[in-house]
Copies of this chain bind each other. A is one copy, B any other.
């Protein structure tokens, strides 16, 4: 087992990465302030891991309240959130009752927001079961619920007590979700870690075949990168944390424009990173063969590298709801070179429209 620390002063917490951690009861129970907990999961993950986790906790004398929400990004809404609150209140969960999120990014984000706001805040533990959640949403304390007018528009910064990253859960992950997770892993290379990007170019086949050693390294390196960024800018105030949103401004527009759940989040981010790369290319920051390397590795991870034709007007409208908008001006995460992302508001509408056009078809 590898333990990694996210350094946030009094909110510092550990990420445990390893195989079969779900069955190690002490790992979780040391973070529970009372002998009961609520486990929130979804209809896909419940049949796979709910019983296992419950057995581990029950064996340590913990009383478990299970809460199951419907699976899918389209259910990251008020209705699911309220069903969590209803269940917590009906079971009379208290301020010291921890919420454990068992699942992917939707379960983690919703459960985290519920933990941040139930009785004005209760303890929270992340048990990610998808590659995307392992390397992204379970690290950093962003919690949220979607609004019909935009993804993650309502939420809170709320740090977990611990993240239990059991790599054994990747064994049951559908191929499509594996690929979407690889997109977020590739993202870290593009933002701030060119050596990691190069390692990924050499090892993408091993990751596609779920080679345990390659997977463990990719997860650890991704979490280290994210933890470093979050420690430097927990609440996205200096702009550094915003870099983690490479591909997200365009990606969120795809997700909202196509209807939540049609594209996986990682898939939308993959296509969004291609638009960001083409925007960078139009600004003379990336060369054509840089863009070629980016599309090539994403394609090897079976990710989309073109965007759906929603019309540039609709794209700009959807992006106008981005949380990074300031003074009415869109701000973009672009690449100033391979492995170095930056935040800028200085991009003309023509350049963005051109990059969107470029990204409609395979170059």
Do the beta carbons of A155 and B120 come within 8 Å of each other? yes
Select one of B86, B147, B153, B157 contacting A149, CB under 8 A: B86
**Residues on B with beta carbons closer than 8 Å to the beta carbon of A113:** 117
Q: How large is the interface on A (under 10, 10 to 19, 20 to 34, 35 or more residues)?
A: 35 or more
**Residues on B with beta carbons closer than 8 Å to the beta carbon of A155:** 117, 119-120
Do the beta carbons of A92 and B157 come within 8 Å of each other? no
Do the beta carbons of B117 and A156 come within 8 Å of each other? yes
Select one of B120, B153, B327 contacting A118, CB under 8 A: B153
Shortest beta-carbon distance, A321 to chain B, in Å? 6
Per-residue B-contact encoding for A60-101, CB less than 8 Å = 1, 0 else: 000000000000000000100010011001101011100000
Most buried by B among A34, A120, A320: A120
Shortest beta-carbon distance, A236 to chain B, in Å? 8
**Residues on B with beta carbons closer than 8 Å to the beta carbon of A119:** 153-155, 323
Do the beta carbons of B121 and A156 come within 8 Å of each other? yes
Task: Tell me the residues in window 106-134 of chain A with beta carbons closer than 8 Å to chain B beta carbons.
Answer: 113, 116-121
Distance of A92 Cα from B328 Cα, bound (Å):
8
Distance of A325 Cα from B97 Cα, bound (Å):
11
Shortest beta-carbon distance, A155 to chain B, in Å? 5
Select one of B117, B120, B236, B326 contacting A94, CB under 8 A: B326
Do the beta carbons of A92 and B147 come within 8 Å of each other? no
Do the beta carbons of B117 and A117 come within 8 Å of each other? yes
**Residues on B with beta carbons closer than 8 Å to the beta carbon of A34:** 327
Distance of A231 Cα from B34 Cα, bound (Å):
27
Shortest beta-carbon distance, A96 to chain B, in Å? 6
Do the beta carbons of B147 and A89 come within 8 Å of each other? yes
A187 at the interface (CB under 8 A from B): no
**Residues on B with beta carbons closer than 8 Å to the beta carbon of A153:** 85, 89, 118-119
Do the beta carbons of A235 and B89 come within 8 Å of each other? no
Do the beta carbons of B326 and A149 come within 8 Å of each other? no
Shortest beta-carbon distance, A159 to chain B, in Å? 13
Do the beta carbons of B142 and A96 come within 8 Å of each other? no
Further 12 A-B residue pairs, CB within 8 A, beyond A85-B147, A120-B235: A78-B82, A89-B321, A90-B149, A94-B325, A117-B156, A120-B142, A120-B156, A120-B236, A120-B323, A121-B156, A121-B235, A156-B156
12 A/B residue pairs, CB under 8 Å, sorted by A: A34-B327, A89-B147, A89-B149, A92-B321, A92-B325, A92-B328, A94-B325, A94-B326, A94-B328, A119-B323, A120-B144, A120-B155
